[in-house]
Every structure is written in C-alpha cells, then in structure tokens.
C-alpha cells in the first residue's frame, strides 16, 4: 500500500514592516520537516493573496532549498486568470517543486467548462504534476465531481485538494479517485484527516498543522504503520483542538495568530487581515495552554 502523506500549508512569515521574512519562513519549514510533514507553500494559510508575483517565486525557491529533498513541496499557483496562473506554474516548475496546486479562480464567476479549460491549460504548460484545489467558500467557484472526473483524464492532473469541508463532496472526489488511474485526493478539513485516509485519500493538506505539527504527523504515521488506536487518539486531539481554536473566528487568521503567540518571529499577516486583539489573544492562549502548545514552536 502506498503510504499516506501529510502536508502542512505552511505560513508565510513577515517582518514588522510587512516585508516577507524568508529566514523565519525557512525555520517553519525546518520545524515541519523535522516533525515528519511535507510542505505546501503559498496556500490559503500562506497568505498567497497578499503576496506579489516575485515574492511567490522567491518564497517557493527558498522553501524548496530549505526542504532539500527531505520532504515534498507543493505550491499554489492559482490566480483569477489562466494566463498568470500558467506563468506562475512555469516558474514554479523551473524551481523544482514536487507538485503545483491550482486553486479555483476567484472573483471571476466560472462555468464548469471554464474551470475545465483553466486547469487543462495550466497542466499543459508544465511538466510537474498539477493538483486541483477546491475551496468554494473562499473563491465562490466549485469543481463539481463530474468536472473532476473529466480532468482526471488529463495525463498531468494528478489529484485534488478538497477544502470544501463537506464530507459528501469529499466522498464524491474519492469515488473519482477509485475510478481514475493515478488521481489522488488530499483532504483539507482537519476534522476529516483520519476518515479520509481510511476511505482512500492519498493524504491531507492541513493548515492546523502549523500549530500542531507532531499530532498531524502522528495521524498519518500511525495509519501507515497500522496503528489505528494511535491514529484515532491523535485525530481526537486534532479535532478537539480544531473545534476550540476555530470556534474563535476565521481559521487561517487564528492559525497565524496562534503561531505568533507561540513564536513571534512568524509576524502578523499583511493588512487588512486580522489585527492583534488582546482579548482574542488571551482566548487563543487559553486554548494553546489547554493543549500544552506554548512551548512547541
């Protein structure tokens, strides 16, 4: 059986003047690799919408260099226009990433045929595996399972990251993966990591793993070793922490803020993201303390 893979959608770190802190980002990559996780950079938890084109290219080069083959590196190339997405994908391919995720276009209202053409054009442009990235709550565009089935026939589209949060949709994508050759599903919802692995997912790509890397690695590691009791125990901790932290507000902002409280070197997100709030920080600290995470970073 092919081993399941855990990826963390690693944060992008910033200085106080909001410039990218590449050294601190490298430190977060090292932390994840040492825990046993793979890396996805420039994703939702990596503030990709706040980064310039050149920053994304440099960030990806730094992450690939830091990982140095010890872990796989995926990167999100998705932008509203196919033209710029393909440009980014080509630059990322030259850097040597292991996979290129393509978030559905945002702002532009796409038909399913438009999405099909978009993903095929990007996949045609590069020699690295391309992965669909579905997060309709943020982009307002959704890859329907039938469209994923069509796209699975493209020789360079190797899977999908499902961040929709609905188990029904995840089940439909998993059915596509059973029918299609060489098309995997990576689960995004943190509460469904183990369920997804048990039901045929290739792995997961998690934002929460920024804060709790060892527990995420334990879910996948225990599953791969056949230790289901260990995997279930780790998932219970992970799911409980998710409920407590995400109950405070917008998940990506809370992940970054929680990590900042653990390690201020990660910096705040670029504006107009969540501003520091002393009352919220105290609530986050209480959650971190409950799980003994204040000394983790």
13 versus 271: the higher-pLDDT residue is 13
Question: Is residue 168's pLDDT more than 60?
Answer: yes
Catalytic residues: 133, 161
Question: Is residue 297's pLDDT more than 60?
Answer: no
Percent of the chain at pLDDT above 90?
91
Band of residue 273 on the pLDDT scale cut at 50, 70, 90: confident
- The arithmetic mean of pLDDT across residues 22-49, rounded, is 97
Query: Could you give all domains of the chain from N- to C-terminal order, each with its CATH number?
Result: 5-290 (3.20.20.70)
Band of residue 166 on the pLDDT scale cut at 50, 70, 90: confident
- The arithmetic mean of pLDDT across residues 97-122, rounded, is 97
What pLDDT does 279 receive?
A: 94
What pLDDT does 272 receive?
A: 87
Are 93 and 122 in contact by the 8 Å Cβ rule? The answer is no
3-state secondary structure of 211: coil
What pLDDT does 184 receive?
A: 97
What pLDDT does 164 receive?
A: 86
What pLDDT does 123 receive?
A: 98
Alpha-carbon gap, residue 130 to 159, rounded angstroms: 7
Question: Is residue 52's pLDDT more than 80?
Answer: yes
95 versus 271: the higher-pLDDT residue is 95
What pLDDT does 165 receive?
A: 79
Band of residue 26 on the pLDDT scale cut at 50, 70, 90: very high
What pLDDT does 282 receive?
A: 96
Here the contacts of 235-243 (C-beta below 8 Å, separation 24 or greater) are 235/193, 235/194, 237/212, 237/291, 238/190, 238/191, 238/193, 238/208, 238/212, 239/190, 239/191, 241/208, 241/211, 241/212, 241/215, 241/287, 241/291, 242/190, 242/191, 242/208, 243/191
Alpha-carbon gap, residue 285 to 281, rounded angstroms: 6
Band of residue 296 on the pLDDT scale cut at 50, 70, 90: low
| Among the ranges given (68-77, 86-95, 252-261), the one the predictor scored with the smallest mean pLDDT | 252-261
């Amino acid at each position: 059986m092919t081993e399941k893979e855990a990826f963390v959608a690693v944060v992008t770190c910033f200085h106080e003047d909001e410039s990218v802190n590449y050294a601190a980002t490298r430190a977060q990559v090292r932390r994840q690799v040492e825990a046993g996780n793979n890396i996805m950079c420039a994703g939702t938890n990596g503030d990709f919408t706040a980064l310039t084109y050149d920053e994304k290219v440099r960030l990806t080069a730094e992450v690939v260099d830091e990982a140095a083959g010890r872990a796989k590196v995926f990167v999100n190339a998705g932008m509203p226009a196919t033209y710029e997405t393909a440009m980014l994908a080509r630059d990322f391919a030259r850097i040597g990433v292991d996979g290129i995720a393509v978030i559905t276009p945002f702002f532009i209202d796409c038909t399913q045929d438009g999405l099909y053409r978009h993903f095929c054009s990007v996949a045609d442009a590069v020699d690295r595996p391309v992965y669909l990235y579905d997060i309709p709550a943020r982009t307002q565009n959704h890859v329907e399972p039938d469209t994923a089935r069509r796209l699975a026939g493209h020789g360079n589209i190797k899977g999908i990251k499902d961040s929709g949060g609905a188990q029904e949709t995840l089940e439909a994508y998993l059915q596509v993966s059973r029918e299609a050759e060489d098309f995997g599903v990576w689960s995004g919802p943190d509460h469904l990591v183990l369920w997804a692995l048990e039901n045929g997912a290739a792995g997961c790509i998690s934002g929460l793993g920024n804060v709790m890397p060892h527990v995420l690695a334990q879910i996948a590691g225990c599953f791969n070793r056949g230790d289901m009791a260990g995997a279930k125990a780790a998932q219970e901790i992970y799911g409980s922490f998710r409920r407590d932290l995400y109950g405070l507000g917008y998940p990506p902002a809370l992940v970054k803020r929680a990590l900042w409280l653990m390690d201020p070197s990660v910096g705040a997100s670029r504006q107009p993201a969540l501003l520091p709030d002393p009352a919220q920080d105290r609530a986050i600290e209480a959650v971190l303390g409950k799980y003994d995470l204040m000394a983790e970073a």
